[in-house]
Structure 1
Amino acid sequence: MRRRMKAAAALVSASMLLAACGGDAEDTETRGTDSETTAEDTEGTDDGDSTGEASGDYPDLSGQTLDVASDWSGAEQENFEEVLAFFEQETGATVTYQSLGNNVSTALGTQIEGGGAPDIALVPQPGLVDQLVESGDIVPLTDDVVSTVEENYADTWKDLSTYDDELYGVWFKAANKSTVWYNVGVYEDAGAEIPETWEDFTSALQVVSDSGVPGLAVGADVGWPLTDWFENVYLRTAGPEMYDQLAAHEIPWTDDSVIEALEVLGGLWGDDTLLLSGGAQRSFPDSVTAVFSDPPQAGTVYEGDFVAGNIAEQTDSVVGEDANFYPFPSINDSPDAVMGAGNVAIAFNDDEGTMALMSYLASPDAANIWIELGGFTSPNQNADMDLYPDDVSLAIAEQLTSAEVFRFDLSDLTPSAFGGTEGEGMWQLLIEFYQNPDDIEGTAQALEDAAVSAYGG
């Protein structure tokens, strides 16, 4: 079984992305400055506000317990538990949540093997969904859930979770992973300008470093942030068609296009004058703290729109004032491009409670709750876009919706052993490359060897 890859493999127009995100450019995306909002701030699912008015009928599930798992922890877990609390209120069901951590495929695989799979998992890897469809561990959505998805989602998102003409998933959360975050005060003090090209980017980092603050902080103790670096660079140096071919392993990782992308990354990661030292031992959250702490230890950090939530949760900096972002820079005159990701809900059984919760996750009710809490982007086109809490989200949405090229996170499209497992495949090999960025040929060969093993030859 294979996913219909039209959405991931074809150039996505601005209008399609607009529909996928649910409104005009000024009405979409996550707004990170309010991501620290707590449950106490949003109590009132029965006080008549937008998050408390159910848009549809919910069944009576009193006495039923449903288990849900995902990779979210911390503030994201708290916010999602608020989403689940509304479902509990409307149905009488009890819903328990478990965080799977970074190793989603491993943790979920262990539960499946032990006969303890959750009722629903929200996973960030379409490649893992592909494997679970093939193994028969997950079930297609019932007609009622399919109808809810068709009512609320553009074809872009339906295609990404359709296998052999059957819909298996609900894309609940989306992310723009082509944002570079910077300390406004550091850039102003250094006289650094906001870059548009890769050459401008490295020059800005040098200007910041010359001011006495290292230009860039990288958290490379785990591999997923490094895969995002590679994917953004590769999308810009190789183009969308080659990106699709590499994701499908139709070209080898020793291809000249991969070598070129590694050369670009190696030039950055190997320049000690631009980097805050200790990146190989630094976690991603710590890389954010390094940039937005007082005093700042670095001027810039790369990652997706969710960095806004990290800033709010971990530091006293205010997004939109002390912290801001710019789009990942163009390379070799590449067009505006966005690499994105998200979490898709999949079901391990088709009983009434499970499918009712899947239908709820596909509804505006569920999306609106987390939108208002912050740190969240919904691909549900009927969600209330007025609920996004700050202007930075609008700027991120404008980048997303105006991009000439959109591609889903490449590592998430590959078998999880290659693109989504700690200590293996891309994660581990790019950590090793970060530590030894001169070994371009060896890294490419190691990536190809790992890909051949994961793809089954």
Structure 2
Amino acid sequence: MNGTRRRRSYVAAAAAGASLALVLTACSSDDDGGGGGDDASSSTDCAAFEQYGDLEGKSISVYTSIVDPESVQQTDSYIPFEECTGATIEYEGSREFEAQLPVRLQAGNPPDIAYIPQPGFLASIVADYPDVVVAAPQAVIDNANEYYTEGWVNYGTVDGTLYATPLGANVKSFVWYSPAAFEENGYEIPTTWDDLLALTDTIAADFPDAKPWCAGIESGDATGWPATDWLEDVLLRTAGPEVYDQWVTHEIPFNDPQVLTALEAVGGILKNADYVNGGLGDVQSIATAPWNESANGIPDQTCFLHRAANFYQANWDEGLTVAEDGDVYAFYLPGESADDKPLLGGGEFVTAFADRPEVQAFQAYLSSPEWANAKAAATGQGWLSANSGLDPELLQSPIDKLSFDLLTDDSYTFRFDGSDQMPGAVGADAFWKQMTAWIAEDQSDAETLDNIEAAWPASS
């Protein structure tokens, strides 16, 4: 199972009925609309679905790593498409998705559509099964060019051909904190990396019995992935996006001196006994602290800062308010200057293995604003899209709204999670394990990077 799916922990919808009501309200109208579904609900405006034609009696199979409870939110978002076209979506979520998808492709039993959570995995699928994966149809290409930035389109493109469009998205360049603690102590949100380090020093001096930072990288079989995010985020800041791209594609070695500089900067925080690990223990405790519980000390002020993605909001106690004036919130992890705005994130990609009209229609729907809005309405919080046609008013969480603003702001330079683009032997194995050893065993920076470089497949 890949790191992206393991690392995502979304809040389930409060009730399936409430989610469905939101979906239908989002596209309600007094018009009967068009479309092929004879029994389409009168509360659903089917005008936007006329382009897909009459698909009555047709079915589309979807295979994904998105399982319960998130799968309920997915299937709720398909209801308008099913009602207006007459098609049926057959959804299958599996925790063994990445292992089983190649098996199914090899056996000649592909799904119609799969949600692939790693651009690197997509590229390998295209390379290994060129006669099975299907290039995106024109309707999907048009949606991609209209509603997504060039960067997002490129992540679904292999050798110049668009195969996949983004499904969901997330932003990882965040630092969680307590607005009340900041106000009480007169702390200001840092706008540069140096400001962040100065704030860290101030907190360490003000609270000698606590620690500025808390962190945890334990995540079962995927232990270590949060540390990879740290290195990726810092490398974007110390070396810039062009070097980051070269590193991800192995144009420069994993242990390049510029990567070593970034890891040293990460260690300046995570391996500094004066800075970590508030409420949890010493530096080594980071390796055993569950990532989804590691920020629990922020409301109690045993720690004050925690670097984690927008989806970390799902892990806060239900009694806490996530808002700029609430109990917990997050600020953008600053760059080296206020004008330097790299942004790390991730997501999944819709990929087709059949070119039947109903499959192409559903793939187009999943790349449209109509689907993005239906999904946002069905989810409640903890999900967003990089689709510029998404109505931000449907995002019910302040941190989701902030994430959407950053994703659609051209002044930020977005880069996809590096480990998710690397070969599996590196990004989902050696990188995780060696970063864990870097913390747990105090393995040196150089040895850590050398070991990961040695794991890079010779053919990649």
Q: Deviations over 1:188-229 (max 9, x none)?
A: 566654333241353256357535467313233323222211
Q: CA deviation at 1:445?
A: 0.5
Confirm or deny: 8 A CA contact 2:49 2:85 kept in the other structure: no
The aligned counterpart of 1:177 is 172
Q: Deviations over 1:208-263 (max 9, x none)?
A: 75354673132333232222111001111111221111111111122111111111
Confirm or deny: 8 A CA contact 1:208 1:215 kept in the other structure: no
Q: Deviations over 1:46-100 (max 9, x none)?
A: 8553374342224444444433233334553332222123333333333233334
The aligned counterpart of 2:45 is 53
The aligned counterpart of 2:368 is 363
Structure 1 residues 237 and 109: alpha-carbon distance in aligned structure 2, compared to 1, 3 A threshold: same
Q: CA deviation at 1:335?
A: 1.5
Confirm or deny: 8 A CA contact 1:35 1:308 kept in the other structure: no
1:444 partner letter: L
1:215 partner letter: W
Q: CA deviation at 1:185?
A: 4.1
Question: Higher mean Cα deviation, 162-171 or 114-123?
Answer: 114-123
Structure 1 residues 327 and 150: alpha-carbon distance in aligned structure 2, compared to 1, 3 A threshold: closer
Distance 2:373 2:322 in 1: 21
2:332 partner letter: P
The aligned counterpart of 1:443 is 448
Confirm or deny: 8 A CA contact 1:247 1:414 kept in the other structure: yes
Structure 1 residues 46 and 84: alpha-carbon distance in aligned structure 2, compared to 1, 3 A threshold: closer
SS of residue matched to 1:98: strand
The aligned counterpart of 2:319 is 316
SS of residue matched to 1:383: coil
> Following superposition of structure 1 onto structure 2, how do residues 134-213 of structure 1 map, counting pairs within 5 Å?
134-135=127-128, 136=130, 137-188=132-183, 192-196=187-191, 197=193, 198-203=196-201, 206=204, 210-212=208-210
Question: Higher mean Cα deviation, 402-411 or 33-42?
Answer: 33-42
The aligned counterpart of 2:35 is none
CA RMSD in angstroms comes to 3.1
Distance 2:384 2:202 in 1: 29
> Following superposition of structure 1 onto structure 2, how do residues 363-402 of structure 1 map, counting pairs within 5 Å?
363-372=368-377, 373-400=380-407, 401=409
SS of residue matched to 1:44: helix
Q: Deviations over 1:13-55 (max 9, x none)?
A: xxxxxxxxxxxxxxxxxxx999755433232378553374342
Q: CA deviation at 1:105?
A: 3.2
The aligned counterpart of 1:124 is 117
SS of residue matched to 1:252: coil
Tell me: higher relative CO, structure 1 or 2? Use CA pairs within 8 A at least 6 residues apart.
1
Structure 1 residues 179 and 243: alpha-carbon distance in aligned structure 2, compared to 1, 3 A threshold: same
Confirm or deny: 8 A CA contact 2:179 2:328 kept in the other structure: yes
Structure 1 residues 153 and 267: alpha-carbon distance in aligned structure 2, compared to 1, 3 A threshold: closer
1:254 partner letter: N
Q: Deviations over 1:121-171 (max 9, x none)?
A: 212211111111112241112234334444444444333322343321111
2:284 corresponds to 1:281: no
Confirm or deny: 8 A CA contact 1:178 1:327 kept in the other structure: yes
1:77 partner letter: S
Distance 1:115 1:208 in 2: 63
Q: Structure 1 length normalisation: TM-score?
A: 0.80
Question: Runs of 5+ in structure 1 lacking a partner?
Answer: 1-31
Confirm or deny: 8 A CA contact 2:293 2:315 kept in the other structure: no
SS of residue matched to 1:69: strand
Higher helix fraction: Structure 1 or Structure 2? 1
Q: Deviations over 1:342-378 (max 9, x none)?
A: 2111112222332222111011111001223332222
Give me the identity figure in percent: 28
Confirm or deny: 8 A CA contact 2:322 2:329 kept in the other structure: yes
Distance 2:269 2:153 in 1: 37
The aligned counterpart of 2:256 is 255
Which structure has the larger Rg over C-alpha atoms? 2
Confirm or deny: 8 A CA contact 1:33 1:319 kept in the other structure: no
Q: CA deviation at 1:390?
A: 4.5
Question: Higher mean Cα deviation, 153-162 or 261-270?
Answer: 153-162
SS of residue matched to 1:395: helix
2:348 partner letter: N
Distance 1:193 1:153 in 2: 33
SS of residue matched to 1:244: helix
Structure 1 residues 187 and 98: alpha-carbon distance in aligned structure 2, compared to 1, 3 A threshold: farther
2:245 corresponds to 1:244: yes
2:436 corresponds to 1:431: yes
2:102 corresponds to 1:109: yes
Structure 1 residues 437 and 63: alpha-carbon distance in aligned structure 2, compared to 1, 3 A threshold: farther
Confirm or deny: 8 A CA contact 1:125 1:416 kept in the other structure: no
Confirm or deny: 8 A CA contact 1:181 1:325 kept in the other structure: yes
SS of residue matched to 1:96: strand
The aligned counterpart of 1:216 is 214
Distance 1:223 1:37 in 2: 31
2:273 corresponds to 1:269: no
The aligned counterpart of 2:425 is 417
Distance 2:253 2:451 in 1: 11
The aligned counterpart of 1:348 is 353
Q: Structure 2 length normalisation: TM-score?
A: 0.79
Structure 1 residues 179 and 139: alpha-carbon distance in aligned structure 2, compared to 1, 3 A threshold: same
